Chains A and B, each alone.
Chain A
Amino acid sequence: QVQLVESGGGVVQPGRSLRLSCGASGFAFSDYGMHWVRRAPGKGLEWVAVVGSDGTTKYYSDSVKGRFTISRDISKNTLQLQMDSLRVEDTAVYYCAKEGGSSGSDRFHFDHWGQGTLVTVSS
């Protein structure tokens, strides 16, 4: 079955960097777009970034653009999120999520999610 397992979270000071990973299994990883979504304490879900199945189409929320970089390694079935210049407001649980299909409108929802990894930005 589909499994997504995040890792790399932790406590980091403002201005520092952190790299999150998401290991994928149980599906053809190279066929699906992949996303990062976060939930800050006491807040709702916030979409963060997407990488297309082609590995080159990438898009970011305004709140992380220029600071975060999404990438995927097809050979290792892994999704990454490089987070630089971290801010206190980036504190959240970060989830990786798989698109619901490989084509058409099935790409427009997220059918599988990882358990999440907590990132805390604090001095």
Chain B
Amino acid sequence: EIVLTQSPATLSLSPGERATLSCRASQSVNNYLAWYQQRPGQPPRLLIYGASNRATGIPARFSGSGSGTDFTLTISSLEPEDFAAYYCQHRNQWPPDGTFGQGTKLEI
């Protein structure tokens, strides 16, 4: 069973600053890694898939990198609406379960 560990648990930054969020897998997940943003009262929103591909409509300030076991989500210059929870996620061909990391809360 693959375990995803996100760090830090909470990240305190100001608008305009750069945010770097980490996700580490307990074994190689190739590049099968996605990132989601969840604001309070909202469903999750896909940001990045395949480790580095921005989803439709996602601003260019969001970028993903990494492969194997270590992945990073970077927000180049924080906007007020970016303060939310972020989750990484992995799924294999089999078993087809969708493992999530425990999340990083990005706060002002």
Contacts and interface: CB of A to CB of B under 8 A. Distances in A.
Interface of A: 33, 35, 37, 39, 44-47, 50, 52, 57, 59, 61, 95, 97, 100, 105-116
A106 B91 CA distance: 10
B50 A105 contact: yes
Interface in B76-104: 85, 87, 89-92, 95-103
Given A44-B103, A108-B91, A109-B34, A50 B46 contact: no
Given A47-B89, A52-B96, A112-B46, 18 more contacts: A33-B96, A35-B98, A37-B44, A37-B98, A44-B87, A44-B103, A45-B89, A45-B100, A45-B103, A50-B96, A57-B96, A59-B97, A61-B97, A105-B50, A106-B49, A108-B92, A110-B36, A113-B45
B37 to A, nearest CB: 11
A52 B92 CA distance: 13
A116 B96 CA distance: 22
Contacts of B89: 45, 47, 109-110
Q: What band does the interface of chain B fall in when counting residues whose beta carbon is under 8 Å from A? A: 20 to 34
Most buried by B among A33, A35, A108: A108
A52 B97 CA distance: 11
Contacts of B91: 107-109
B96 to A, nearest CB: 5
A105 B53 CA distance: 12
A21 B37 CA distance: 24
B43 interface: yes
29 contacts: A37-B44, A39-B38, A44-B101, A45-B36, A45-B87, A45-B100, A46-B100, A47-B89, A47-B98, A47-B99, A50-B97, A50-B98, A57-B96, A59-B95, A59-B96, A100-B49, A105-B32, A108-B32, A108-B34, A108-B49, A109-B34, A109-B89, A109-B91, A110-B36, A110-B46, A110-B98, A111-B55, A111-B56, A113-B43
